[in-house]
């Protein structure tokens, strides 16, 4: 069953079509990679799906419900969780408070407080931030901030994860670790869209890849096939 269905979404900003008639569907439990050169519209596509940017034309359905003009907080409550390309932790809060906030705001019943802390601790363990638990988020390194972003989305009980460059700036070992983590998540039923400029995650993880250039889909299919297609090579290498 299609979890997400985008039909001819066009997004015009300052008289330029940053997304031009983009259509695709995403099945439940799938991992979709979105690749493309700088300015291709990858992040814009995530912004549109998560409601941060309004589409000019077209429609988006999530779980058979129309979500085209819904505000971002509604979509977040439906289970569409995103990370940001440049990490945006709440800097005056500690790491655990950041994750707790996401947990509390996901709108579920909290129940016993100790159980909540345990749950959040286990999320922090998953992203290897448990040692930094009580450090202010402002003092984290870039790699740690990226993992904090990931932890925040995990705490929000996601159905559809939108990950923007989650692997950029991480060490190879950490990328392998994140890859395993995402695979595990996917097996537990979370659908994932990966935006990936450097192709380091999507090639191995994605079941399917969409290549964007100038706001248009130029190739779609299995990762290796898309990478080998001449149009994608041309777009990347110029």
Footprint on this chain of another protein (rule: CB under 8 A):
50-52, 71-73, 76-77, 81-82, 84, 88-94, 96-97, 100-102, 104-107, 110, 113, 116-117, 134, 136, 138-139, 152, 156
37 versus 72: smaller Cβ distance to another protein:
72
Smallest distance from another protein to CB 218, Å: 29
Contacts of 122 (CB under 8 A, 6+ apart): none
Quote the CA–CA distance of 16 and 97 in Å, as a whole number: 40
Report yes or no: 212 and 218 within 8 Å, Cβ to Cβ.
yes
Report yes or no: 136 and 94 within 8 Å, Cβ to Cβ.
yes
81 versus 208: smaller Cβ distance to another protein:
81
The beta strands (E) that lie in 105-190 are given as 160-164
Smallest distance from another protein to CB 66, Å: 19
The one-character DSSP state at 188 is T
* Chain-centre distance for alpha carbon 82: 5
Smallest distance from another protein to CB 112, Å: 11
51 versus 223: smaller Cβ distance to another protein:
51
Smallest distance from another protein to CB 7, Å: 24
């Amino acid at each position: 069953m299609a979890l997400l269905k985008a039909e001819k979404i066009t997004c015009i900003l300052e008289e330029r079509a940053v997304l031009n008639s983009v259509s695709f569907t995403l099945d439940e439990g799938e991992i979709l990679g979105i690749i493309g050169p700088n300015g291709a519209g990858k992040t814009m596509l995530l912004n549109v799906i998560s409601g941060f940017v309004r589409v000019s034309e077209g429609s988006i359905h999530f779980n058979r419900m129309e979500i085209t003009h819904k505000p971002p907080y509604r979509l977040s409550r439906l289970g569409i969780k995103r990370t940001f390309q440049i990490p945006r932790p709440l800097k005056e809060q500690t790491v655990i408070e950041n994750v707790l906030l996401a947990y509390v705001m996901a709108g579920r019943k909290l129940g016993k407080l100790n159980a909540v802390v345990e749950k959040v601790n286990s999320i922090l363990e998953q992203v290897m931030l448990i040692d930094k638990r009580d450090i202010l988020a402002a003092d984290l390194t870039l790699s740690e901030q990226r993992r904090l972003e990931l932890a925040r989305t995990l705490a929000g009980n996601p159905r559809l994860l939108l990950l923007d460059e989650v692997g950029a700036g991480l060490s190879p070992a950490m990328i392998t670790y994140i890859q395993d983590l995402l695979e595990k998540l996917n097996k537990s039923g979370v659908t994932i869209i990966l935006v990936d400029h450097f192709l380091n995650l999507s090639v191995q993880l994605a079941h399917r890849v969409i290549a964007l250039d100038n706001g248009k889909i130029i190739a779609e299919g299995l990762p290796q096939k898309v990478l080998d297609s001449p149009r994608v090579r041309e777009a990347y290498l110029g």
